[in-house]
Every structure is written in C-alpha cells, then in structure tokens.
Amino acid sequence: MALSYKTRRRLSLVVLVFGLPAYIALAWWVMSLFDRPSLWLELAIYTGLGILWAFPLKAVFKGVGQADPDAPRQE
C-alpha cells in the first residue's frame, strides 16, 4: 500500500517530533544499563544506532521535501 504525499508529510513530522526523541532516549537508557565502554566503541554504537533508525522509515521520508506530485500544476 502506497502512502499519499500528504500522509507521508504528516507521518514524517510525527516521527521527527515524537519518534526520534523517544528513540534517542531509549538508546541512551539502554546504553546506561551497561558499564561505559571505551570512547571509540561508544561512538561506534551511537553512530550505528543513529543510522539504523532511518532504514525502516526510508519510505516515509522519500520525496517529502519535493513539491506535491498530486497537486494541479499552475502555469
């Protein structure tokens, strides 16, 4: 099922405003459960987690910054 342009825009806004901060807090909390690793390992973990969140949401963000393809063209 393909999402419409407006739905993708609204969903991407919700993800960025609510989902991303929640994901950051969750990653931070999970990392606090363990002893602090070395600086380079910690940097690698946070970098990996920072990239990992975007892959499942790629379809939501694709084309959101472009003009609405369904809107009537004004000439």
pLDDT score of 39: 92
Residues 14 and 70: beta-carbon distance below 8 Å: no
pTM for this predicted structure:
0.73
73 in any annotated domain:
no
72 in any annotated domain:
no
74 in any annotated domain:
no
Structural domain that includes position 13? 5-60
19 in any annotated domain:
yes
Kindly give the parts of the chain with pLDDT less than 50.
Answer: none
75 in any annotated domain:
no
pLDDT score of 8: 86
18 in any annotated domain:
yes
